[in-house]
Amino acid sequence: MTDQENPPLWERGMLSVAQREQVTGHRGMVVWFTGLSGSGKTTVARALDHLLHGHGKRSFLMDGDVLREGITSDLGFSPEDRTENLRRFTEVARLFANAGTITLVSAISPYEASRQQAKERIGSERFLMVHVATPLEVCEARDVKGLYAKARAGELKQFTGIDAPYEEPVNPDLKLVPEDGDPGVMAHAVYDALVAGGFLGGE
């Protein structure tokens, strides 16, 4: 057999997603958390990340605020920049999912079109949309970062929910409201949805 017929491993095709999932023992996918600033989406995503890790699953949390410090640091908050911001989120999340990782995206992601594009790009069969539907008045009452106060005072422009729109998901896979319980309870609800959807291997 010639070298051409039996090339070195590094010259052969890339590992498939299925091969990588054999190692993780579960499907690579994206759980996309959307909601207003202060809705609790990142807190729920963190709780889910810990829950998955505790069950031996490979997961990774992509927080919108963190990505804006690096990958999307050149973007502002205009409609065009928000769209590009989510396009980059989508591409990074897709790469993680292709590596067999349960990728948790926590981003306001205010536009339905951008969320649908993310679902189509990643693949509907490995995409779970979670709407953390905390009402604006509750988010504003929390105002953990003081952002709503600045937006109301006119010191912060193009703030989602105040002078920039938030389009609620038309048909999310899971909708969480404050009455559902604390972030830990909500995280378990998402975990149960992953189990029911057959995303977590043998569970």
Report pLDDT digits (tens) over 168-180. Answer: 999 999 999 999 9
Structure-block tokens of residue 170: 């038309």
Q: Is 73 a catalytic residue?
A: no
Classify residue 34: in a domain, yes or no. yes
pLDDT digits (tens, 9 = 90+) for 132-144: 999 999 999 998 7
Classify residue 143: in a domain, yes or no. no
Q: What is the pLDDT of residue 68?
A: 80
Classify residue 147: in a domain, yes or no. no
Structure-block tokens of residue 80: 């065009």
CA atoms within 13 Å, Cβ hemisphere of 30: 28
Q: What is the pLDDT of residue 137?
A: 95
Q: Which band of pLDDT confidence, cut at 50, 70 and 90, is reported for residue 183?
A: very high
Q: Which domain holds residue 95?
A: 28-138+168-196
Percentage with pLDDT > 70 across the chain:
93
CA proximity to 102, closest of 58, 158, 54, 164: 58
Separation CA 134–CA 77 (nearest Å):
22
Q: Which of 37, 39, 59, 109 is catalytic?
A: 109
Report DSSP letters for 17-52, one per residue: HHHHHHHHSS--EEEEEE--TTSSHHHHHHHHHHHH
Classify residue 172: in a domain, yes or no. yes
Any idea of the CA torsion for 38, 118, 46, 146, to the nearest 10 degrees? Answer: -20
Classify residue 2: in a domain, yes or no. no
Q: Which band of pLDDT confidence, cut at 50, 70 and 90, is reported for residue 25?
A: confident
Residue 163 burial (CB count, 10 A):
12
Q: What is the pLDDT of residue 186?
A: 97
- pLDDT, average across residues 50-62: 96
Per DSSP, 143 falls in state -
Residue 133: CATH number of its domain: 3.40.50.300
**Is residue 62 helix, strand or coil?**
strand
Q: Can you say whether residue 56 is alpha, beta or left, with left for phi > 0 and alpha for psi between -120 and 50 degrees? A: left
Classify residue 59: in a domain, yes or no. yes
Q: What is the pLDDT of residue 117?
A: 96
pLDDT digits (tens, 9 = 90+) for 57-100: 999 999 988 878 888 888 888 889 999 999 999 999 999 999 99
Overall pTM > 0.85: yes
- Reply yes or no on whether the pLDDT at 4 is more than 90: no
The answer to whether 194 touches 137, Cβ cutoff 8 Å, is: no
- Reply yes or no on whether the pLDDT at 121 is more than 70: yes
Classify residue 111: in a domain, yes or no. yes
